[in-house]
């Protein structure tokens, strides 16, 4: 019997959902905003009904026409003048502390990789390059510039990583020539 309980609960939930259904929503036009569209004046109502001819109302009356106002345009605003700001200080670089021996090794290897990448770039100088090779040259130059910038900031770990990337791409460039 324990297996019938979940089924009964599921059936009850399904019946509850079916019983609630969904409400029919009707769309109503918003009243026209002030001054954007001329308002339609209502037709004058006669004060007393005409006694002569009474006609029966039509069987299928046409629904009243909805007046849809044009979309409201946001007011034109003058762009705000940015307040003079002081230049933001450079974000601090977080890098591991290197011992003097590790720093000397990183400097040496970074310099070697930069020199090798520049040498490989020189071998491509003056040759006709396709789009992929030209893209490699631009990436290598970018990595070399970033590596030099990291060297000036004494961020030797970052400089080493960037110089390795430049050197690896320069080898790929030379092999594609």
Domain limits, the chain: 131-177
Backbone angles phi, psi at 98, to 5 degrees: -105, 145
User: What percent of the chain is helix, strand and coil (3-state, nearest 5)?
Assistant: 50, 0, 50
Q: What is the DSSP letter of 40?
A: P
Residue 71 contacts by C-beta under 8 Å, 6 or more apart in sequence? none
pLDDT at residue 101, rounded to an integer:
86
pLDDT at residue 8, rounded to an integer:
81
Q: What is the DSSP letter of 24?
A: -
Contact 158, 150 (CB under 8 A): yes
pLDDT at residue 46, rounded to an integer:
53
> Which stretches of the chain score pLDDT less than 50?
37
In angstroms, how far is CA 151 from the centroid of its own chain?
A: 34
- 3-class DSSP state of 4: helix
pLDDT at residue 161, rounded to an integer:
93
Residue with token string 């007011």 = 75
């Amino acid at each position: 019997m324990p297996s019938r309980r979940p089924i009964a609960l599921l059936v009850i939930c399904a019946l509850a959902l079916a019983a609630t259904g969904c409400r029919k929503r009707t769309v109503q036009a918003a009243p026209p905003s002030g001054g954007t569209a001329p308002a339609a004046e209502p037709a004058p109502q006669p004060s007393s009904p005409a006694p002569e001819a009474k006609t029966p109302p039509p069987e299928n009356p046409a629904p009243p026409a909805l007046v849809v106002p044009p979309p409201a345009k946001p007011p034109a605003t003058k762009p705000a003048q940015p307040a003079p700001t002081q230049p933001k200080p450079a974000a601090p670089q977080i890098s591991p502390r290197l011992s003097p021996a590790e720093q000397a090794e990183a400097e040496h290897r970074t310099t070697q990789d930069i020199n090798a990448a520049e040498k490989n770039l020189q071998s491509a100088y003056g040759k006709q390059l396709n789009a992929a090779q030209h893209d490699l040259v631009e990436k290598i130059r970018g990595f070399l510039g970033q590596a030099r910038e990291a060297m000036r900031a004494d961020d030797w770990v970052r400089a080493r990583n960037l110089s390795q990337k430049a050197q690896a791409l320069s080898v790929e460039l030379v092999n594609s020539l």
